[in-house]
Structure 1
Amino acid sequence: MAFESFTKKIYIKTALEKLYWCWGTPQGITSWFLRDARYTAQEGQTVRGASDKIEAGDHYRWEWHNWDGEETGEVLHANGKDAIAFTFVNVCRLTISIEKQDDYVLLTLHQDQIPTDDKSKLHIHYGCSNGWTFWLTNLKAYLEHGILLNETTINLRNVPMAELEFVNI
C-alpha cells in the first residue's frame, strides 16, 4: 500500500458553478465544511469577502466546529471554474477537480505529498482519507438534499481520539 497519496471521488447532482462556490469562496466552504474560513490576498493586507472567489497565492485559516486547532496554508491554484489546490496539513497538497457529466458533477479530491513516517500514516493518510470520505458525503447531502451530517451541537473536543473515531466530525 502506498501512503504518499490517496484519491476520493463522488458524483453530485448539482451545477458545476455551485460546486466550485462550495470550495472556492469563504461563504461556500463554511456552508458545509468549516465553522470559519478566512482568506487573505497574496499581498497580505486584503481579506477576501464572504462571496469573493479565492485566488492562487491567497493564504487561508480554517476552523472546524469540533476542533480547537486551525488549519493554515496557501491556495496554490484556483481557476475560478473547475480546479483548486491548497497546501494542507503543512506538508501536503490537496487538489480538487470538478467535471460536468450529464446531470452530475464528478468531484475528484487528491491529497498527496504525505510523509510516510508512522505518525503521518495514521493522522494524515488514514485520518484525512477517512475524514474526506465523510466530508464529501456531507457535501453531497448538502447540495442534493439541503441537509448537513456533521456534528455542530455536541462538543467532542474532550473525547480522546474523536477525530479518528467519530464519523461526523
Structure 2
Amino acid sequence: MSSFDWSRFTVRININSNSIEQLYRAWATRGGIEYWFLRMSEYSQPNGSLRGDDEPVQKGDTYRWRWFGYGDEVTETGEILDCNGTDFFKFRFGEAGDCSVRIYPEQNELIVELLQDNIPTDEKAKEMWHIGCKTGWTFYLANMKSLFEGGIDLRNKNEQLQDMINA
C-alpha cells in the first residue's frame, strides 16, 4: 500500500518582487489576481456587494473566477476562509479542497507557497484535483513569476486552442 498522501500537495516559487504586500495583493484583490491568474474575478462581500479592483478581500467573502482559454461555463466559486491582509490568504477551491497561500522571505528572496489540502481521495479526485490542480498551480505560479519579473504573460488567451498546459 502506498504511503503517498493524495489529500494534499505544496508548490513553492521564489519571485523577485518589490514587497510581500505586492505579492499578497496579487491574490487578495480583483485587479491583482486577474493580472497573473484569471481573466475574470469577482470578490463579493457577505452582503452581496462586489469589492473594487484594488479592494482587498476579507474573511467570509466569496469569489467567482473564470480563466483564459475556457468559456464562461467554466466558472469556479468559493469562499475566502481566512486572510490577514499581509502574507496569508486561504480559500475553498470548490470541490478540490482548500488552498492556503503564504508569502515569506527565505534566503533573501520572497517565496510564494501554496498548500492545497482536504482534497478528496477517490480515483477521480486523485486525477482531477491532485494531479490536475498541482499541474495548474505549477504553471500559474510560473506565470506569476514571469509577469512580476519580466512582464511576459504566458497564458493561452485563445479559447479555440484546447488542452494547453497554459490554460
Residue 58 of structure 2 is aligned to residue 55 of structure 1: yes
Alignment of 1:8-27 (within 5 A): 8-14=11-17, 15-27=19-31
The letter for the 1-side match of 2:149 is E
In the alignment, what sits opposite 1:145?
Answer: 150
State whether residues 70 and 159 of structure 2, in contact with CA within 8 Å, keep that contact through their aligned partners in structure 1. no
- Secondary structure at 2:95 match in 1: coil
| Alpha-carbon separation, structure 1, partners of 2:90 and 2:70 | 23
| Alpha-carbon separation, structure 2, partners of 1:55 and 1:25 | 10
Residue 43 of structure 2 is aligned to residue 39 of structure 1: yes
- Cα deviation digits, residues 113-162 of structure 1 (max 9, x gap): 01111110111000000111101000000101111111113523xx4xx2
Alignment of 1:1-169 (within 5 A): 1-14=4-17, 15-44=19-48, 46-68=49-71, 69-101=74-106, 103-153=108-158, 155-156=160-161, 159=162, 162=163, 166-169=164-167
- Secondary structure at 2:56 match in 1: coil
State whether residues 16 and 82 of structure 1, in contact with CA within 8 Å, keep that contact through their aligned partners in structure 2. yes
State whether residues 24 and 53 of structure 1, in contact with CA within 8 Å, keep that contact through their aligned partners in structure 2. yes
Residues matched between the structures, number:
161
TM-score when normalising by structure 1: 0.91
| Alpha-carbon separation, structure 1, partners of 2:142 and 2:159 | 20
The letter for the 2-side match of 1:12 is I
State whether residues 13 and 103 of structure 1, in contact with CA within 8 Å, keep that contact through their aligned partners in structure 2. no
Q: Bigger shift: 102-111 or 79-88?
A: 102-111
TM-score when normalising by structure 2: 0.92
Structure 1: gaps of 5 or more residues: none
The letter for the 1-side match of 2:166 is N
State whether residues 60 and 73 of structure 1, in contact with CA within 8 Å, keep that contact through their aligned partners in structure 2. yes
Question: Which runs of structure 1 show a deviation greater than 3 angstroms over 4 or more consecutive aligned residues?
Answer: none
State whether residues 72 and 90 of structure 1, in contact with CA within 8 Å, keep that contact through their aligned partners in structure 2. no
| Alpha-carbon separation, structure 1, partners of 2:9 and 2:88 | 17
RMSD: 1.3
Q: Bigger shift: 100-109 or 78-87?
A: 100-109
State whether residues 38 and 66 of structure 2, in contact with CA within 8 Å, keep that contact through their aligned partners in structure 1. yes
